[in-house]
A and B are shown apart, each in its own frame.
Chain A
């Protein structure tokens, strides 16, 4: 005990510091536990992305409540009635309800007993989850359409003897000097002849811009739950596409028998009454594309969520509108949200999309009946999209 630091003079504080002041084994093992939790979460991604509650608007994170992991031992089954010994003012026959667990002071923590109660709230970066999803699904990454783009950018190209001082390529200039000095009678110092400057040229950039149209049926038959299903699905679609495209624009269109464009927060609040006329929505999308976007320059995506009860009289118009939109989009997806009824796409709208993909267009449909299906839907669309033939 003589070597104890602190009370001896002349010792520098650093040498007096013991290893346990610099290193915490508890924290190390805690980090390992944390890692294991994250692995477990990762293994259960479908359940997590299905939870509608986890999406944290605005923030690029998802919060997942998790239980502490338990290191399992052999234990006896929980009995119906447990016997124990206690201490205090109590007579035989007394009945009371369990006061909160009390521990004697100074008692060493009985770690490992009632450990199921603490919940952790882990925050995951959306980007990480999307990365995992991609790994998990083993999808080939989406191919951005490289179209005839009018966007240009400066790129470095070649050297010249004249140029701005800031573009002087020293290594290259020095090589020139060495070459020239090889010749007999040359001046040993730099001359203007030796200098080389980097040059820039304008080059066309491939289109790496994407616009996603989310079209939602808000007619009277779509319940809150249906809208929430659609929202959860849309959220993950945006994440998936955002991974591929540097800039991603989203356009939100809702329709009943009419169609409107909304901003994002309003979009999910909208509820309407009345019938479903899908062609109004599709025409609205058409109108927005024509007004704002050039299909040659951006990658357009359309995702449509509806319960599928399109008005029968609208079939011809909707077919035409859909064909016109699909001609310009990289991919068109249809999710049928019909909680309770699983009609498996045998609806009016379902048929329209089936025709479309039958005709060789990049299109897909999926019946989304429950939050558990969100995972399947994401997988379905993205594997379909990545295998889809390149758009026109």
Chain B
């Protein structure tokens, strides 16, 4: 690790502030590559243990062996933010990465979605997640790894199923239906009462409200609060997973904007930083072009879009066309859905060579007509609903049976039955009562999966 890049951090920060970036202070830390990899795998520097992270870890190891991906930095929003830099970065890379991190810090402090989630979760997500990990470690010591794993199997399987439009800390549903309106005591009622004393004299007893009173998308919350026979430590684990999901959502839902914004700023700050030695500048520019490269060097086309490149190109266009003030405004207000739908124009899509394709299951790819709104949706569709099918809890029956419904109308097709059964199995072990999941089959007719 070279100590040199630290000398530049302060100067790059000053330059960034002069350029209008407003960010919380950031703690920079250089860490070994192995730790970088773990952060990428877990999504947080310290997180609860689960075997599924082990699977991702091995895939990362394999990818790295094959030289596919390399991580330069991982940054966590907060006050202060935490940036982890790979110890193997060279000076030029670290200068670039520092500027990049400040772009992220500016974004996460000012973007509405990030701000809202940070207000609810905390400005110290790194410490928070480490706390969860410690709590879960304690639970493991009391209740055993096996039981904790069973709960985490279920909770992490549902990690995308939260309702971001509801607050993190929610009240339980009202226990009873609202009181029926007191009927006006007018002459009509008097005459009506005279007709049939039974009908008029009914005093309606308080009625229990159904649970949930409306379809509930926040499955983690519903299970934690309404599972008939769950231990309190099991509920705690569900809520810990849910809290981390609330943190992950804005990262997921603004990836194109966020990475683009950071790339835009590292490029711009680098251009303006006259204090950087010539050689480092050249190296850093080369590094930049590697990161925002849309297509692998030896390929003609890519079937995935590099969010760095797309976001970067869009922000350049926006700043060029409308000025920095307007760009900052967009950065504050939008998420990827609004950003792509409103600002990915026909001209830019052509310029970047974006296209829409359909892939058959035999691997044949066909490029489709360039239709702009359809292209927007093709870019965005992996991001709908936190990347998960729309499954909501419809009803908890009096015997405790949980009815789940998949909204196949929104998603366009039914669930993968094999996987859904497995998820129901996970969930059944903590819900401890029967589960019913409704979706559609290949032919489009309704299908019920049950567990056990």
B303 touching A102, Cβ below 8 Å: yes
Q: Which of B191-199, B202-210, B242-250, B413-421 contacts A (4 or more CB under 8 A)?
A: B413-421
Q: Which of A12-37 contact B (CB under 8 A)?
A: 18, 20-21, 24-34, 36
Distance (whole angstroms) from the CB of A259 to the closest CB of chain B: 52
- Would you list 21 pairs from A and B whose C-beta atoms are within 8 A, ordered by A residue? A6-B1, A29-B53, A33-B51, A36-B51, A78-B361, A79-B413, A82-B358, A84-B359, A85-B375, A87-B295, A89-B301, A90-B301, A91-B367, A92-B368, A96-B301, A96-B364, A99-B303, A102-B296, A106-B71, A111-B56, A115-B59
CB of A75 within 8 A of chain B? yes
Counting from the closest, the 3 A-B pairs by CB-CB distance are A88-B301, A104-B306, A29-B54
A82's nearest neighbour on chain B, judged by CB, is B359
The total of chain B residues at the interface (CB under 8 A) is 101
CB of A192 within 8 A of chain B? no
Instruction: Decide yes or no: A88 and B381 within 8 Å by CB, A20-B31, A77-B413, A77-B414 being known contacts.
Output: no
Residues of A within 8 A of B (CB): 1, 4, 6-7, 18, 20-21, 24-34, 36, 68-99, 101-109, 111-112, 115, 118
CB of B166 within 8 A of chain A? no
Q: Which residues of B contact A107 (CB under 8 A)?
A: 69, 306-308
Residues of B within 8 A of A (CB): 1, 3, 6, 27-32, 34-35, 37-38, 40-42, 46-47, 49-60, 62-63, 68-72, 149, 153, 156-161, 290-291, 293-296, 299-309, 352-361, 363-370, 375, 378-379, 381, 388-389, 391, 406, 411-417, 419-420, 422-423, 426, 442
Partner of A99, one of B27, B46, B301, B378: B301
Partner of B388, one of A36, A74, A91: A74
Distance (whole angstroms) from the CB of B421 to the closest CB of chain A: 8
In whole angstroms, how far apart are the Cα atoms of A30 and B412 in the complex? 36
In whole angstroms, how far apart are the Cα atoms of A124 and B114 in the complex? 49
Known: A88-B294, A105-B293. 8 other contacts (CB 8 A): A27-B57, A74-B157, A75-B389, A97-B364, A102-B303, A105-B291, A106-B308, A111-B60
A108 touching B304, Cβ below 8 Å: no
A90 touching B52, Cβ below 8 Å: no
Distance (whole angstroms) from the CB of A164 to the closest CB of chain B: 54
Instruction: Decide yes or no: A74 and B70 within 8 Å by CB, A32-B49, A118-B62 being known contacts.
Output: no
Which of A24, A85, A93 has its CB near the most chain B CB atoms (within 10 A)?
Answer: A85
Q: Which residues of B contact A103 (CB under 8 A)?
A: 68-69, 296, 304
Q: Which residues of A contact B51 (CB under 8 A)?
A: 29-30, 32-33, 36, 69, 71
A104 touching B304, Cβ below 8 Å: yes
Distance (whole angstroms) from the CB of A30 to the closest CB of chain B: 4
B357 touching A84, Cβ below 8 Å: yes
Partner of B391, one of A74, A108, A109: A74
Distance (whole angstroms) from the CB of A47 to the closest CB of chain B: 19
Q: Which residues of A contact B31 (CB under 8 A)?
A: 18, 20
B353 touching A73, Cβ below 8 Å: no
Q: Which residues of A contact B55 (CB under 8 A)?
A: 30, 33, 68-71, 111, 115
B357 touching A83, Cβ below 8 Å: yes
Q: Which residues of B contact A31 (CB under 8 A)?
A: 54
A7 touching B3, Cβ below 8 Å: yes
Instruction: Decide yes or no: A105 and B35 within 8 Å by CB, A74-B389, A91-B367 being known contacts.
Output: no
Instruction: Decide yes or no: A106 and B70 within 8 Å by CB, A77-B414, A85-B378, A87-B352 being known contacts.
Output: yes
B365 touching A87, Cβ below 8 Å: no
Q: Which residues of A contact B378 (CB under 8 A)?
A: 83-85
Partner of B304, one of A73, A86, A115: A86
Q: Which residues of B contact A21 (CB under 8 A)?
A: 32, 35
B364 touching A29, Cβ below 8 Å: no
Partner of A86, one of B37, B47, B158, B357: B357
Distance (whole angstroms) from the CB of B242 to the closest CB of chain A: 15
B72 touching A24, Cβ below 8 Å: no
Distance (whole angstroms) from the CB of B351 to the closest CB of chain A: 11
A25 touching B53, Cβ below 8 Å: yes
